[in-house]
Structures are given as C-alpha cells and as structure tokens.
Structure 1
Amino acid sequence: MKLLSLFFLTIFLGKGCDAQKQQDLQTTVIEYVANTRGFYKKITVQNQTVLVSKDRKGNDKPVQIKISDSDWKKLIADFQEINLDEVPNLKAPSEKRFYDGAAIANLKIIHKDKTYESTNFDHGNPPAEIKKLVVLINELDKEK
C-alpha cells in the first residue's frame, strides 16, 4: 500500500511540475534579433505564438504564427535546459559578425519580471547552451 501511495504521489508531483513549467513559459517572452546593415529579423515568442518582423523601424505589422502543440512541447523542453542566470555570460563560438561575415544576433528572455540578455553572437551559430532553443525559434519562422 505504501509503495502504491508513493507511486501515485510521484506521478502527481511530476505532472504538477510540468504544468508549472509550461505556465512559466506561457508568461515568458523570448526575443531573438538578428541584423546587419541590410538585414533585420526579430522573432518574438510568447504564449504559443510567434511574431516575426523584418522591418527594423516597426512600420510593418509583424507576421503572427501559431505554434503547434508538438513544437510548443519542444520549446518548453529546450527552455527548461537553460540556466537563465548564465545567459548574459555565454561566450560566442565564432566572431564572423566582426567583419560582416554573419549577422549580429542576440537572445533576450523576459521571465518573471526579470530580463536575461545574451551577449552578441553570430546569426546561425549561437552559444552551445542556447543553441537548441535558438535553432527551434528560427525553424518556427520558416514553417509559415
């Protein structure tokens, strides 16, 4: 009986944690910006929706894309792997952006009224710690 109770308690607590983490991501805003002199892309993820803007000045209305349930679950899993306090300290793996070899990109996460912003990195080559999340965010834009 104790074993059965322990089993159900473990399942119940595990499901509660997943629901809390999903709720946390629903109230989180993730912004990915990549730009050069002739290129601009801003992808904003919030509450199972992606907004994509390619207008630096903000004159055009961003394209809104609904995130599928399977992609949302992947996004939650990738988000959970990130240590938010370490995001500002991440080192870029390459430096092509210094000589116009790549667009300058950065990731900003607004979570529980606190902002975590990465240092600049090359578009298409983010730090390993946030790579899965950045790649998935960019793929969401391509699915439209």
Structure 2
Amino acid sequence: MKLISLLILTLFVGKGCDSKTDQDINTAVIEYVANTRGFYQKTVIEEQFVSITEDRTGNEKTKPEKISDEDWKTLISLFEEVDLEEIKDLKSPTEKRFYDGAAIANLQITYKGVTYKSPSFDHGFPPYEIKKLVNKINSFSKQDDEY
C-alpha cells in the first residue's frame, strides 16, 4: 500500500514539474511609452483594460476601456510568446530616434512583482522578439484615432 501511495505521489509531483508554465497576463501590467519633444503617448494594459494618455505630467485622468474578448485572447497569446528575461537584452532594428526620425519607445512589463524593461527603440520599429506584442498594444491607440 505504501508503495502504491508513493508511486501515485511521484506521478502527481512529476506532472506538476513537467507542466508548461504559461505567463498569466491577468497578473501583469504592461506599459508602452513613446515620446519625443513634441509627442508623448503612454499605453497601460492591466486586467483586460487599456488606458492611453498623451499627458506626460501624469495629471490627466484617463478612463480605462475594456479590451474586447477577441483582442484580449490575441494579447494573451502574444504575451505568452515573450521571454521576459530577455527583454532587457533586445536590440533595436533601427536608430531613427538618434536624429529625431522616430519617437523613443520603451516597453515595461511588471509581472509577479518583477519589472522587465526593454532598452529604448524606435516607435513603430520594435525589436523582432516583441514586435507582434508592441504592434497589438499600439493598435489600441490607433482605434481611438479613427473616431
């Protein structure tokens, strides 16, 4: 009986260690900031809500808007593809921000109490590893421009 109990316990412990550890976007705060001397945009995504501000002082009160279920599912899958530990080492594919050819952008993800921050890159030209996620984040601000 002890042997059977030990085998069952080993099976459960082994399965627990073997399972895929998906990143849970519901516990993350994603911040994307793009700015130059004359432009500022901060997008914050938290718990299926997005807030967008163009006020760099932080005094503007923004009303978070709910992200549609379809967009949220897409965002979840894109978030799970990102290796958070590698964000700090990403290389920008372009350098337009050095001569005011593009706004300076940064992606910051706070997940389980740890903040992962990318090096600066050109707004509109994110590093390949986070390109899909950044483009999805930026799509929320473009929807506001269409109205």
- TM norm structure 1: 0.83
**Misfit runs of 4+, over 4 Å:** none
Q: Counterparts of 2:63 and 2:135 in 1: how far apart (Å)?
A: 19
Identity %: 57
- Give the corresponding residue for 2:5: none
Q: 2:118 corresponds to which residue?
A: 118
Structure-1 separation of matches of 2:84 and 2:138:
20
2:83 partner amino acid:
N
Deviation of 1:21 after TM superposition, in Å, equals 4.2
Question: Would the aligned equivalents of 1:53 and 1:63 in 2 still touch at CA under 8 Å?
Answer: no
Q: Report the Cα distance in structure 2 between the residues aligned to 1:140 and 1:74, rounded to whole angstroms.
A: 13
| Aligned residue in 1 for 2:81 | 81
Gapped regions of structure 2 (runs ≥ 5): 1-14
Q: Does 1:61 align with 2:61?
A: yes
Match in the other structure for 1:135: 135
- The unaligned stretches of length 5 or more in structure 1 are 1-12
Distance 1:133 1:124 in 2: 12
Which has the greater radius of gyration? 2
State the partner residue of 2:46: 46
Helix, strand or coil: the match of 2:134? helix
Q: Supply the RMSD in Å over aligned alpha carbons.
A: 1.8
Q: Secondary structure at the match of 1:101?
A: coil
The alignment's TM-score, normalised by the length of structure 2, stands at 0.81
Offset at residue 62 of structure 1 (A): 1.9
Query: 3-state DSSP class of the match of 1:30?
Result: strand
Task: State the 1:61 CA deviation.
Answer: 1.1
- For residue 64 of structure 1, report the CA deviation from its aligned partner: 2.0
Give 1:33 shift: 0.2
